[in-house]
């Protein structure tokens, strides 16, 4: 196979104007044994195209088109080597003439290239290369950013897990709070029907689910108090107040318990704290007044406040009257007892206390009248009223009536430690000449009397009773 290639470069005015270059080459391909006309033609065309494209590359290099495009080095070499690819679409191959004689195929063809398009293609390639470089840089940055994102996602996932754990914990806590509250409600229902043991069990469960449920402690304390467990109640109120130190009712209830435990001063402090938290806490003023009405005249001020808040508080009028009586203001005491009776004409304690005040004023007849009313309306400790009425009758020298009242008092409450009627009955008996029986009562009463060495007692025992 013999190949002959001839190249012609055609320059025309038209091509110059169009900024085109045309290259012409001839090529002869000698057919082999296996070649046909078609295969020979195809080989000839391919060889002509390769040769013509190579010419374009030589031209580009010689005409310094690469320099004009500021391309050099390895990139320029790559450009020349890949001229066929680069010039695709901006070159045009044209077969001018061809001949087949059965043994060889001859062809003459031309290829035309648009120089401007070539330069633009080169610029585009440069831009593409630059973009590729930038894209590679961006890619690297993205890789770094991606790694950072992965790290951040891991941190976020960890944080999310922690949040989820916290959410689960918070959810469980909220559920426990709800369960605790329900146990408190059940305990309250049992408390209302005096099932204090059952109520305490419910409050125990409420505290188990929510150790910070102050209501459970408060209400359990009330239930324990109802069962006379004063110490247990006090501990519950201490804990409840620790959890909820602004609960005025808690201080009030704890004050009541402290009074039961004879911790009067501490009880007064709790009532005072309740009043600080709620300046209109009527019951707190009342209980504070009760805590100090026999030792501190300021109790009257507390009772004044109660009446200011509630002018129909019968019990307050009674105890304010008692306080006034205790501090020697008998007439003012009578006014309060009168008011209590006006508000409630069947209030036995009001009649009792007014009768005692009349006794202090040496008005035994009025005292007896009030004691009669008190007995009619049956106060809780009516035996005391019989004792007081017996003393009033004794003052009027109605010894028979007095003895009958002392007998009734002892009948209602025979406990020596509780009832001074034994002493008063013994004294009355001695006054009417029943010395033996009278001395027996006086000697019995010595157990009850706090100070058996009182002048009166010693005088009676010395004068009428054999020691």
Residue-range domain boundaries for the chain: 3-131
Region 45-66 average pLDDT: 73
The SS3 call for residue 343 is: helix
* pLDDT recorded at residue 207: 93
Q: Which one-letter DSSP state was computed for residue 450?
A: S
pLDDT band of residue 273 (cuts 50, 70, 90) is: very high
Distance, CA of 299 to chain centre: 41
* CA distance readout (Å), 276 to 10, 181, 249, 273: 115, 28, 12, 5
Give percent above pLDDT 90 in the chain. Answer: 53
Q: How confident is the model at residue 159 (pLDDT cuts 50, 70, 90)?
A: low
In terms of DSSP H, where are the helices of 244-381? 248-260, 264-277, 282-292, 298-309, 314-326, 330-343, 348-360, 364-376
Of 13-27, 167-181, 182-196, 293-307, least confident by mean pLDDT is 13-27
**pLDDT on residue 450:** 55
Give residue 232's pLDDT.
93
The answer to whether the CB of 307 falls within 8 A of the CB of 331 is: no
326-365: pLDDT as tens digits: 999 999 999 999 999 999 999 999 999 999 999 999 999 9
Q: What is the pLDDT of residue 48?
A: 85
Mean pLDDT, the chain, as a whole number?
84
DSSP 297-332: THHHHHHHHHHHH-TT-HHHHHHHHHHHHHTT-HHH
Q: How many CA atoms lie within 13 A of 16 on its CB side?
A: 5
- pLDDT at position 18, please? 46
| Contact between 223 and 257 (Cβ < 8 Å) | no
Q: Residue 81's pLDDT is what?
A: 57
Would you state the pLDDT for residue 72?
53
CB 416 within 8 A of CB 447: yes
């Amino acid at each position: 196979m013999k190949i002959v290639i001839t190249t012609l470069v055609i320059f025309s005015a038209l091509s110059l104007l169009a900024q085109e270059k045309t290259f012409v080459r001839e090529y002869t391909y000698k057919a082999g044994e296996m070649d046909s006309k078609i295969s020979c033609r195809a080989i000839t065309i391919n060889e002509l195209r390769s040769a013509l494209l190579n010419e374009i590359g030589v031209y580009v290099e010689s005409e310094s088109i690469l320099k004009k495009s500021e391309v050099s080095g390895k990139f320029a070499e790559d450009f020349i080597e890949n001229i066929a690819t680069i010039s695709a679409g901006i070159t045009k191959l044209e077969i001018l003439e061809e001949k087949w004689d059965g043994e060889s195929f001859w062809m003459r063809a031309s290829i035309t290239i648009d120089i401007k398009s070539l330069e633009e293609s080169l610029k585009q390639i440069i831009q593409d290369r630059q973009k590729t470089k930038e894209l590679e840089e961006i890619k690297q940055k993205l890789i770094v950013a991606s790694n950072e994102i992965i790290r951040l996602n891991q941190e976020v996932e960890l944080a999310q897990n922690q949040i989820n754990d916290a959410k689960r914990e918070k959810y469980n806590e909220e559920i426990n709070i709800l369960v605790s509250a329900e146990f408190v409600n059940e305990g309250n229902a049992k408390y209302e029907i005096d099932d204090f043991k059952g109520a305490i069990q419910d409050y125990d469960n409420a505290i188990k689910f929510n150790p910070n449920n102050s209501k459970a402690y408060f209400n359990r304390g009330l239930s324990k108090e109802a069962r006379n467990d004063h110490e247990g109640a006090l501990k519950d109120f201490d804990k409840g107040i620790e959890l909820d130190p602004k609960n005025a009712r808690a201080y009030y209830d704890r004050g009541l318990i402290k009074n039961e435990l004879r911790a009067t001063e501490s009880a007064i402090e709790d009532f005072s704290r309740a009043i600080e938290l709620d300046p209109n806490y009527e019951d707190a003023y009342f209980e504070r007044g009760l805590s100090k009405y026999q030792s501190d005249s300021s109790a009257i001020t507390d009772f004044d406040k109660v009446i200011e808040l509630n002018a129909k508080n019968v019990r307050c009028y009674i105890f304010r009257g008692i306080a006034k009586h205790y501090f020697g203001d008998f007439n003012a005491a009578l006014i309060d007892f009168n008011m209590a009776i006006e508000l409630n004409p069947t209030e036995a304690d009001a009649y009792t206390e007014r009768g005692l005040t009349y006794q202090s004023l040496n008005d035994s007849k009025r005292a007896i009248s009030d004691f009669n009313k008190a007995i009619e309306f049956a106060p809780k400790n009516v035996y005391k009223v019989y004792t007081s009425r017996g003393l009033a009758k004794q003052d009027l020298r109605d010894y028979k009536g007095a003895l009958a009242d002392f007998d009734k008092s002892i009948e209602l409450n025979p406990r020596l430690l509780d009832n001074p009627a034994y002493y008063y009955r013994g004294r009355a008996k001695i006054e009417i000449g029943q010395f033996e029986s009278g001395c027996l009562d006086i000697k019995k009463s010595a157990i009850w009397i706090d100070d058996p060495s009182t002048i009166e007692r010693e005088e009676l025992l010395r004068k009428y009773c054999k020691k």
